Amino acid sequence: MHTRMIGPFKVSAIGLGCMSMSWGYGTPDEAISERLLQEALDVGYNFLDTAAMYGMGHNESLIGRAIGHRRDEYMLASKCGIYRRDDGTLGVDGRPETIKQTCELSLQRLNADVIDLYYLHRLDPNVPIEESVGALADLVAEGKIRTIGLSEVSSETLRRAHAIHPVTAVQSEYSLWARTPERKMLAACRELGVSFVPFSPLGRGFLTGCAKDVTQLEEGDIRTNVARPRFESEAFETNQRLLIPFAEMAKQQGCSMAQLALAWLLAKEDNTLVPIPGTKHIEYMRENLAAVDIQLDSSIVESLDSLISDDTVVGDRYMAGLMTSIDSEKD
């Protein structure tokens, strides 16, 4: 198995994003999700990513129930800081007391004594990052978490946080069609010795060639609301044209489109990134892991860089209101 380092942890070069087994991309099958988690460990995944807000605790409980008895076989990442309001919308709460309470509940659901990597899921604009990271540092001192991570933050926020307590990893959306980390974050991570974990490395399914526009998606799918702009019918039709040459490149490399998108990420940043594609399908879980065996020539990487990027894709990655609220680089 190909491995990479995230702080002190040696992990599979591709991790498993667990969100879709509980929420976000249509209705999952509980029995299949439990099998998927078991088989993921069997085939070589040992880095699992979840969060308290994935299904409002359901995803953590699923992991605890399905593979809690195999806890020594995987590096576990979870997140705090997002909650569901009474009206069903999501809010951000980075207050120290909330972070500590969320961690306690997560440990119970995960059937675990400690969380290896614990992220602040989003920056709370009403709470200085120093206060939120201070609470995470307390959890490290108490032995409830091993290391600290941040999700969807700017390079400035990372530097402020890192000055309070070493940050082990930053997680943000990064793929061929979501290049924000290339603006400043990847350089900041290199400078500070912080690992970078790309989420949604398959462009929320778009880069697999299997995605559909909003008119064909199940109600509640995040691509019909928070991630809607690129899946609106007109934008989606335009974006799909990029997949014609992309599919041909995948064919030439003898791999699937999903595998090509992951191989592109694996080849970036001196082979240090650890993408975490999510799925609720066992066959896709296996397909994604096989991308670790694909070696791309630098010319292919460069061709992909120019084919699909922020400059060639139509639409923002989130709805306008959410885009403005996210702390990651705007320019």
Our answer to whether residue 83 is catalytic in this structure is no
Decide: helix, strand or coil at residue 118.
strand
Residue 57 included in any domain? yes
Q: Is residue 95 part of a domain?
A: yes
Cα–chain center distance at 172: 6
- Domain boundaries, position 143: 3-205+269-294
Is residue 331 scored above 70 in pLDDT?
no
pLDDT at 227 over 80: yes
| Under 8 Å between Cβ of 76 and 116 | yes
Judge contact between 92 and 115, C-beta under 8 A. Answer: no
pLDDT digits (tens, 9 = 90+) for 241-293: 999 999 999 999 999 999 999 999 999 999 999 999 999 999 999 999 999 99
Q: Which residue has the tokens 């924000």?
A: 180
Question: Which residue, among 124, 129, 127, 104, has the nearest Cα to 114 in the 3D structure?
Answer: 104
Determine the average pLDDT of the residues in 71-100: 92
Helices assigned H by DSSP within the chain = 30-43, 58-67, 96-110, 129-141, 155-164, 185-192, 233-240, 243-253, 257-266, 282-289, 298-307, 320-325
CA distance 169 to 186: 11
Q: How far apart are CA 76 and CA 115, in angstroms?
A: 6
pLDDT exceeds cutoff 90 at 330: no
Please give the tally of structural domains in the chain. Answer: 1
Asked if the structure places residue 227 within a domain, the reply is no
Q: Pairing between strand 82-84 and 3-6?
A: unpaired
- Binned at pLDDT 50, 70 and 90, residue 321 comes out as confident
CA nearest 47: which of 281, 275, 292, 288?
Answer: 275
> Is 189 inside a domain boundary?
yes
Tell me the average pLDDT across 118-145.
98
Residue holding tokens 């998606």? 217
Query: Would you place residue 63 in the very low, low, confident or very high pLDDT band (cuts 50, 70, 90)?
Result: very high
Answer whether residue 307 shows pLDDT above 80.
yes
In sequence order, the β-bridge partners of residue 9 are 6
Q: Are 202 and 228 a contacting pair, CB within 8 Å?
A: no
What are the angstrom distances between the C-alpha of 176 and each of 61, 111, 232?
32, 36, 19
- Does 329 reside within a domain? no
Report yes or no on 240 lying in a domain.
no
Confirm whether 148 is domain-assigned. yes
Q: Is residue 172 part of a domain?
A: yes
* pLDDT over 80 at 324, yes or no: no
Reported confidence tier of residue 197, pLDDT bands at 50, 70, 90? very high
Q: What is the pLDDT of residue 65?
A: 98
Contacts of 230 by beta carbon, 8 Å cutoff, 6+ apart = 177, 204, 206, 236, 239, 313, 314, 315, 316, 317
Residue 47 is part of a domain; what is its CATH number? 3.20.20.100
Among residues 25, 45, 54, 119, which one is catalytic? 54
| Residue range 30-46, pLDDT digits in tens | 999 999 999 999 999 99
Non-local CB neighbours of 215 within 8 Å, separated by 6+ positions:
233
